Amino acid sequence: DSGVTQTPKHLITATGQRVTLRCSPRSGDLSVYWYQQSLDQGLQFLIQYYNGEERAKGNILERFSAQQFPDLHSELNLSSLELGDSALYFCASSVSGQPSHNEQFFGPGTRLTVL
């Protein structure tokens, strides 16, 4: 157990819908990263928040957004869902905002299926 929690574990929804994925980082970690894992694209970095502020953006679609709250938990919002958004979504956390300084601990993931 990494100490990072994610809910829900599984999510099944229809095209065009909107969902919210939730992540709670390890105690003491200020940075949260979101990754998408699919068979064709592999593990891709989406976005990073550090202490409530957006720190870096990766391959995140405009239909996707995220935020980090004062208690440091983070939510990833996916809207106008398409079949291709079906994937495993991981959250990771680290102590500092620079991944070169600290290990990223991954949560168990949320498996999203869009029908």
Partner 1 sequence: GENVEQHPSTLSVQEGDSAVIKCTYSDSASNYFPWYKQELGKRPQLIIDIRSNVGEKKDQRIAVTLNKTAKHFSLHITETQPEDSAVYFCAASPGGGADGLTFGKGTHLIIQP
Q: Cα–Cα distance between 24 and 9 in angstroms, integer?
A: 13
Shorter beta-carbon distance to partner 1: residue 50 or 64: 50
Q: What's the min distance (Å) between Cβ of 16 and partner 1?
A: 28
Q: What's the min distance (Å) between Cβ of 66 and partner 1?
A: 12
Q: What's the min distance (Å) between Cβ of 92 and partner 1?
A: 8
Q: CB–CB of 91/74 below 8 Å?
A: yes
Q: Contact residues for partner 1 (CB under 8 A)?
A: 2, 31, 33, 35, 42-48, 50, 55-56, 58, 90, 97-100, 103-109
Burial (Cβ within 10 Å: 0-12, 13-18, ≥19) of residue 40 = exposed
